[in-house]
Amino acid sequence: MSWLYLVIAAIFEVGWPFGLKIATVSPHKIFWILFAIIAMALSGIFLYFAQKGIPIGTAYAIWTGIGASCTFLIGVILFKDALTLMRILGVLLIIFGVICLKIES
C-alpha cells in the first residue's frame, strides 16, 4: 500500500507547480493558488503515509523524481517549454534514477 500512497503523493506533487503556473496566466488566480496549496498539502500527507513502509531517501527521491519528470512534460506539452536534447537527457536520468531506486527497494 505504501507504493500506492507514494504514486498518489507524486501525482499531487505535480498539481502544485501546475496550479501556480496556471495562476500566472488565469483571471482566477486565487482559485489556482488554492488548488496549488491543497495539492501541496495532499502531496505531503500521502508522502507521510508512504514513508511508513518505504525508506525516507527512496520515498523522497521517487516522489520528487516523478513530480519533476511529469512537471517537465506538462511544461513542454501545455506551456511550450523548450524541448532540447540536454533537457530530455536530464529527465531521462531522473527517470532512470527512480527506476534504480524502485528496483533496489
Average pLDDT over the chain, rounded to an integer? 95
Q: What percent of the chain has pLDDT over 70?
A: 100
Q: Is the pLDDT confidence value at 105 over 80?
A: no
Q: What is the pLDDT of residues 8-37, one digit of tens each?
A: 999 999 999 999 999 999 999 999 999 999
At residue 45, the pLDDT reads: 98
Question: What is the residue extent of each domain of the chain?
Answer: 2-104
Q: Which of 63, 83, 68 is nearest to 7 (CA)?
A: 63
At residue 34, the pLDDT reads: 98
CA distance 98 to 76: 21
